Amino acid sequence: MNIKNICCIGAGYVGGPTMAVIAQKCPEINVTVVDINEERIKAWNDENVENIPIYEPGLPEVVKEARGRNLFFSTDVDAAIDKADMIFISVNTPTKTYGIGKGMAADLKFIELCARQIARVAKDDKIVVEKSTLPVRTAEALKNILDNTGNGVNYQILSNPEFLAEGTAVDDLMNPDRVLIGGDIDTAKGKEAVDALVDVYAHWVPRERLLTTNVWSSELSKLTANAFLAQRVSSINAMSELCEKTGADVNEVSKAVGMDSRIGAKFLKSSVGFGGSCFQKDILNLVYISKSFGLHEVADYWEQVIIMNDHQKRRFAAKIVQTLFNTVSGKKIALLGWAFKKDTNDTRESAAIYVADYLLNEQAEIVVYDPKVKTEQIYADLDYLNTRSLEENRARVTVVDGAYEATKDAHAVAVLTEWDEFKELDWQKIYKEMLKPAFLFDGRRLLERKTKEGIGFEFYAIGS
């Protein structure tokens, strides 16, 4: 079966880049990305390709090549569903904020709305692809809705979780370690659907990296991969605290450990704590699923990854307060970086939000500079925590356009995102314009201790 028309519901951090790359690599397939968020679609269609709503290195070039040729962004969800042979669901699946499973389970209301919309609109057979990260066995619920509320057409449900990381999305999509496709491979129709999706990716991904499994393995593998990755970060962060007490250096430990080929070097960088929209949400979801099956030891095991991460964020903020003679009240603290990692404008669950909130509770005056994050986003992130009034957040937090403006007259500077440009700053100038003693806290192990201490900074870096 040859796919001619793809529709993707959800034009976010996954739907946008993923579909742009599919469209670029498969010029004979029409790809329409739809979203209910009109502003987002407008930005994807902005004449100036630099204004697309997601900042990802290399993405503007891909969009430029395919947009208007075989890549389209639209708010007409019904029309795109109607036309498509294959529909990707790439909507958000945040942690539930109400009711049963509040604070743990994935909220599947957006997924269900998509299923009901597909069922209402579809007049011919469709392959429905779960691109969103979902609890294991969600495909069953999707099929139930589609089969019972649909127009009697045949649906095949595939699971095709996305493994891209933000900041490197285009490269991850162009050269994936593997593409995972879960389907009903024991039936002829199921196998045909899996083959159709394999053929799409085979345009550019070597066949040996196209991995097919049953649907449940595919759904669960995505949660497992994120849990393992986050666990590595929490493991090295746990060691960072021990390093600080013992004179060991976490970078040296991480290098020594990572050179063991059984362990591997990646994802062993100690930090102020992992952020991003996925790790915490997906582990909480895993914990919830485990508990719902009565697997309490399994649940506790994974929950510890989150507990450690929360501790790391808190302990970094507490270190700032302790070092500044146990009070930051009325003191200006400059935060360099707000995004959850470099090369993205995404701030979801960024450690910076929690560090700022902690310092604000200690009555600090916060000044933030991030090269890609918009001012409204920074306020929105703080408001979302509901710790203090919107007015107070605006009165106590200032967002500026440059690092020198942020650090001038500050009591302390904290590096919270590993943006390359922070390495290149004129730290001599920053030191000169700060209050003394000038405290510098490196939450990313980005800066070299020797040169900073040479300038005169009181320097603290995570894990040493």
Ligand X SMILES: NC(=O)c1ccc[n+]([C@@H]2O[C@H](COP(=O)([O-])OP(=O)(O)OC[C@H]3O[C@@H](n4cnc5c(N)ncnc54)[C@H](O)[C@@H]3O)[C@@H](O)[C@H]2O)c1
Cβ distance to ligand UPG smaller for residue 87 or 229: 229
Residue nearest to ligand X (CB): 12
Verify whether residue 418 is a known catalytic residue.
Answer: no
Distances (CA, A) of 409 to 17, 117, 394, 432: 41, 55, 19, 9
Q: How many CA atoms does the CB half-sphere of 204 hold within 13 Å?
A: 14
* Residue 10 in the binding site for ligand X (CB under 6 A): yes
24: tokens are: 């670029």
d(CA 111, CA 128): 12
Contact between 115 and ligand X by CB under 6 A: the answer reads no
Any contact of residue 345 with ligand X (CB under 6 A)? no
412-415 and 210-213 as β-strands: parallel, antiparallel, unpaired? unpaired
State the binding partner of 257 from ligand X, ligand UPG, none, CB within 5 to 8 A by kind.
none
344 binds ligand X, rule: CB under 6 A: no
Residues 154-173 that bind ligand X (CB under 6 A): 162, 164, 166
Q: What is the distance between the alpha carbons of residues 368 and 332, in angstroms, rounded to a whole number?
A: 11
Of 30 and 93, the one with the shorter C-beta distance to ligand UPG is 93
**Intra-chain end-to-end CA distance of the chain, in Å:** 57
Rounded CA separation 54/324 (Å): 37
Q: At what angle do helices 279-292 and 296-323 cross, to 10 degrees?
A: 150
Catalytic residue among 131, 222, 341, 452: 222
Question: What distance in Å separates the CA atoms of residue 12 and residue 21, rounded to the nearest whole number?
Answer: 14
Residue whose CB is less far from ligand X, 132 or 270: 132
Q: For residues 20 and 146, which CB has a smaller minimum distance to ligand UPG in the complex?
A: 20
Task: Determine the Cα–Cα distance for residues 313 and 358; give it in Å rounded to an integer.
Answer: 9
- Give me the least distance between CB of 35 and ligand X, in Å please: 4
Span interacting with ligand X, options 6-14, 59-67, 328-336, 426-434, rule CB under 6 A = 6-14
CB of 421 to ligand X, least distance (A): 23
Considering only 7, 12, 66, 360, the residue that binds ligand X (CB under 6 A) is: 12
Q: Are 131 and 88 in contact (CB under 8 A)?
A: yes
Shortest Å, Cβ 326 to ligand UPG: 28
Interface residue with ligand X among 30, 32, 70, 93 (CB under 6 A) is: 93
Closer to ligand UPG by CB, 105 or 196: give it: 105
Q: How many residues bind ligand X (CB under 6 A)?
A: 27
Helix axes 351-361, 296-323, angle to 10 degrees: 50
Whichever of 111 and 397 has its CB closer to ligand X, that residue is 111
62-81: contacts with ligand X (CB under 6 A): 77
Shortest Cβ 57–ligand UPG spacing (Å):
13
- The minimum distance between CB 65 and ligand X, in angstroms, equals 21
Longest dimension (CA), the chain: 74
Tokens encoding 389: 């009034």
Q: Is 407 in the site for ligand X (CB under 6 A)?
A: no
Cis check: omega of the bond before 17, within 30 degrees of 0: no
Strand pairing partners for 221?
Answer: none
Exactly one of 130, 166, 278, 452 is catalytic; name it.
Answer: 278
From the CB of 68, what's the least distance to ligand X, in Å? 21
Those residues whose C-beta lies under 8 Å from the C-beta of residue 9, and which sit 6 or more positions away, are: 15, 34, 35, 77, 80, 81, 87, 88, 89, 90, 91, 114, 117
* 255: annotated active-site residue: no
162 part of the active site: yes
Across the strands, what pairs with 211?
A: 180
State the residues that interact with ligand UPG by CB under 6 A.
Answer: 133, 162-166, 226, 229, 233, 267-269, 271, 274-276, 278-279, 340-341
Please choose, from the candidates 323, 321, 322, 271, the residue with its C-alpha nearest in 3D space to the C-alpha of residue 459: 323
> Considering CB distances under 5 to 8 angstroms, the limit depending on partner class, which of ligand UPG, ligand X, none binds residue 229?
ligand UPG
Which one, of 1, 9, 2, 282, lies nearest residue 128 by Cα? 9
Strand partners, 9: 34, 89
Q: Burial level of 306, CB count in 10 A (0-12/13-18/19+)?
A: middle
When asked if residue 11 is in the footprint of ligand X (CB under 6 A), the reply is yes
| Residues 26 to 45 in contact with ligand X, rule: CB under 6 A | 34-37, 40
40 binds, among ligand X, ligand UPG, none (CB under 5 to 8 A by kind): ligand X
**93 contact choice in ligand X, ligand UPG, none (CB below 5 to 8 Å, kind-dependent):** ligand X
Q: Which residues bind ligand X (CB under 6 A)?
A: 9-15, 34-37, 40, 77, 90-93, 110, 113-114, 132-133, 162, 164, 166, 277-278
Instruction: Tell me the catalytic residues.
Output: 162, 222, 278
